[in-house]
Every structure is written in structure tokens, then in C-alpha cells.
Structure 1
Amino acid sequence: MKKIIFGALLTSVLAISCVNQKQEGVLVANPDTFEQKMTEPEVQILDVRTEGEFAEGHIQDAQNIDVLQDDFKEKVATLDKNKPVMVYCKMGGRSAKAAGILKEMGFTTIVDLEGGYTAWKASGK
């Protein structure tokens, strides 16, 4: 019984710490907030999914740079670090990874779509 309680407690702590890491220096926004922020001036919208996923549907004006490709950093280096970057993937995992890389590279304003493109479509957008 103690092992079960300890395991559940450990899992909870790890889950909370992962959420905090994802949000540090990055705004995680629901689809409505994400859409609202897209209207701000000079926003750069970044879809970090594969080319195939992007071809199946994407947010208007998004630029596709696959976070899983070796040249991801090289390609995002062409973006303006001082302009807001709106980032999304399919469900939120890859965009969290991309947001962390962008933060490390010195991007100042990063907004990650909570739930990714799946949540975007589910919200009727």
C-alpha cells in the first residue's frame, strides 16, 4: 500500500514539475486566447509538425518548420527574435519542445497553443 501511495505521489510531483517547466517563460494559451494573440502586430505563427501533417490542414499564415528535423534551429534562426512567436503542433508535446528551444535561442515572446491543432479544430476554428 505504501508503495502505491509513494508511486502516486511521485507521479504527481513529476507531472507538476513538467507543467511548470513547459510554462516557464512561455505563455500556454487555449485556442481562444491563441486566436486573439494572433491579431497582434508582427506575429510569427510557427507550425512545428511534419510536412504531411501541415499539408492536411494548418492555421492560416503559419510557417511550417518541423521540430524533429536536424535543421530546426537553423531554420528558426531566420525568424525575428524580438517579434512574438505563436507555436503549435498536433497536441502540444512537440510545440512545448520547440518553445523550449526558442526560449534558449533568445526569443522574447513565445505563445504555445494548449492542446495543439487538435484543440484548435475541436474548438471550431
Structure 2
Amino acid sequence: MKFVPVIIAFLSLNFGYAQIKSKPITEFSQKDIKDGILIDVRTPKEFGMGHLENALNINWFDKEFSKRFDTIPKKRRLYVYCKKGGRSAKAQKLLDSLGYWNVVNLEGGYDHWKANKKF
């Protein structure tokens, strides 16, 4: 009986973790992608000018954007970001509609991360 509160707490934390939909990009770390995939939805040109370490570039403006996710399991946690946050928010909504239920939008985008990174 004394384990019931522990089990309830564990389930609450686990459910809450799966429901995270956004996170400030400045709070993101490489540890976050241990079990996920980091996706930069900017253009290849923007990506080439700098990106977060270990990011996969899938261009939001690519006509085949949705198809680029065909090989990515829907269970995987996806972290998406763009330049300022608009494209990644749209990408998150689209991916949610495609069945990717664990998509986290990194708010503020690359520009915010770059302006606040510690050298």
C-alpha cells in the first residue's frame, strides 16, 4: 500500500515527460537527444551557415518535407528548430498530424540560441 504514492508519482512524471510540446532552445542540451532526433527545418543554406551539433537538416520548404520522415519511427522524440520559431512550430503541427506524437518545438530558434550561447 505504501508503494501506491510512488507508483502514482512515477506515472505522472512519465506521462508529463511524454507530453512536453515546447522547450526554450537555450535549455536544450545534447543529452536531450540521447533517445531522440534533433531536426533543423531551415534551408540548406541557413544550415550551412551554422547549426546545433548533431542536427539533421530537413528543409521545411522542401516539397517532399513530409516524405523525409518516412524512415523515422513515430515513437522517437523529435526536437525541431528553425531560425526564430515559426517554421518549427508549423513543422511540429504537421508532424503531430502525421502521427509523430512526441515532437518538441525548440522555442526561439537558432538565432536565439546563438545570441545566448556561452563561449
Structure 1 unmatched ranges of 5 or more:
1-24
Q: TM-score, normalised by structure 1?
A: 0.73
Whole-angstrom CA distance in 1 between matches of 2:83 and 2:20: 18
Q: Are 1:53 and 2:46 an aligned pair?
A: yes
Whole-angstrom CA distance in 2 between matches of 1:80 and 1:91: 26
RMSD: 1.5
Pairing partner for 1:122 from 109, 112, 115: 115
Runs of 4+ that moved beyond 4 A: none
CA shift at 1:32, angstroms?
A: 3.5
Whole-angstrom CA distance in 2 between matches of 1:100 and 1:85: 12
| Paired position in structure 1 for 2:65 | 72
Q: Are 1:28 and 2:22 an aligned pair?
A: yes
Whole-angstrom CA distance in 1 between matches of 2:97 and 2:25: 25
Q: TM-score, normalised by structure 2?
A: 0.76
Structure 2 unmatched ranges of 5 or more:
1-18
Does the CA contact (< 8 Å) of 1:27 and 1:111 recur in 2? yes
Does the CA contact (< 8 Å) of 2:26 and 2:112 recur in 1? no
| Paired position in structure 2 for 1:88 | 81
Provide the identity percentage: 38
